[in-house]
Copies of this chain bind each other. A is one copy, B any other.
Amino acid sequence: MAPNFLSRKLRNFMHLDKIDLALLDSVISKTRTVAAHVDLISEGEKPSDVHLVLQGFACRYKILQDGRRQIMAYLVPGDICDLHVFLLDHMDHSLGTLSTCEIVDLPRTVVLELLDRPNIARGLLLSTMVDEGTLREWLVNIGQREAEPRVAHLLCELLARLRSVGLVSDQKYTLPLTQVELADTMGMTPVHMNRVLQSLRRKALISLESNQLTVLNSKRLESEAGWNPNYLHLRKVAAAAAE
């Protein structure tokens, strides 16, 4: 059976007992495969389910009148979106896949079931707060850092987040994104994104080919990025990674 990325993630925050883990396993039993570049829900629609990503990359994004797109968050395996989304009567942004994904749709009743377990509830609320902290960090990143440290910061973040759910080995992870998508994430043009990646490669900080990203020199990459992982609130990273 595929690993339960949701419980992996929550265990970064809270201890989960057998009942919790069994519930989390049952919840992810009904997955569906979604092709790349498909919306899970679009701006303006009424939210129905909470979405959970078990494989692949999804994102939140918004499209402006002139066609420009801003990607505002990545959802990677274990990530859940908008616990309280049922309160809203329309989505103010869209949710879509970037790569092929395995998705679980959680209807309201199942979410309430999860929130009935105190430690799961605390874990989910903490995850939500971390998502918010991540969003703030992205704002800082785009608002204050120049292109190269900005991209370096994103790559550091993904290293930490994917490691926390066991998706990093040998400083390497799968980054199933095109340079256009990365550019739309970082608020820059694809051309400039390309040049920044070239530069990071030339400095031997990373390698990136066929969607495999390797951090060759994490110390220098982190210093270039001004990296500080405190906003991820990962207290038990090493333990979780070892499982």
- A contacts, CB < 8 Å to B: 43-44, 60, 62, 64-66, 68-70, 72-73, 82, 84-85, 87-90, 92-93, 122, 125-126, 128-129, 132-133, 135-140, 142-145, 186-187, 226, 230-231, 233
What are 9 A-B pairs at a CB distance below 8 A? A64-B144, A69-B144, A70-B144, A87-B122, A135-B139, A139-B139, A139-B142, A142-B142, A143-B186
Are the C-beta atoms of A135 and B135 separated by less than 8 Å? Answer: yes
Closest B-chain residue to A44, C-beta based? B230
Q: Tell me the nearest residue of chain B to A235, going by C-beta.
A: B89
Complex Cα–Cα for A44 and B44 (A): 38
Check A64 against B226 for contact (C-beta < 8 Å): yes
Q: Chain B nearest CB: distance from A126 CB in Å?
A: 5
Find A136's partner among B65, B87, B93 (CB 8 Å cutoff).
B93
Are A62 and B122 neighbours in the complex by a CB distance under 8 Å? no
* Interchain residue pairs A-B with the least CB separation, the first 3: A143-B187, A92-B231, A70-B140
A10→B126 CA distance, assembly (Å): 24
B144 touches A72 (CB 8 A): no
Name the residue of chain B whose CB is nearest to the CB of A138. Answer: B139
Please give, as numbers and ranges, the residues of chain B lying within 8 Å of A68 by CB-CB distance.
144
Cβ-neighbour of A132 out of B132, B140, B186 (below 8 A): B132
In the assembled complex, which residues on chain B have CB atoms less than 8 Å from the CB atom of A93?
A: 133, 136, 231
What residues of chain B lie closer than 8 Å to A186, measured between beta carbons?
A: 143
A92 adjacent to B125 (CB under 8 Å)? no
Alpha-carbon distance between A132 and B128 when the two chains are bound, in angstroms: 10
**Residues of chain B lying within 8 A (CB to CB) of residue A145:** 64
Are A140 and B64 interface neighbours, CB within 8 A? yes
Whether the Cβ atoms of B72 and A136 lie closer than 8 Å is: yes
Determine if A92 and B144 form an interchain contact, defined as CB atoms under 8 angstroms apart: no
Known: A125-B84, A132-B132, A231-B92. A140 touches B226 (CB 8 A): no
A92→B125 CA distance, assembly (Å): 16
Determine whether the beta carbon of A60 is less than 8 Å from that of B233.
Answer: no
Are A142 and B187 interface neighbours, CB within 8 A? yes
Chain B residue nearest in CB terms to A92: B231
Assuming the contacts A92-B231, A136-B60, asked whether A87 and B142 have C-beta atoms less than 8 A apart, the reply is no
Distance in angstroms from A128 CB to nearest chain B CB is 8
State which of B87, B88, B129, B143 has its C-beta within 8 Å of the C-beta of A70.
B143
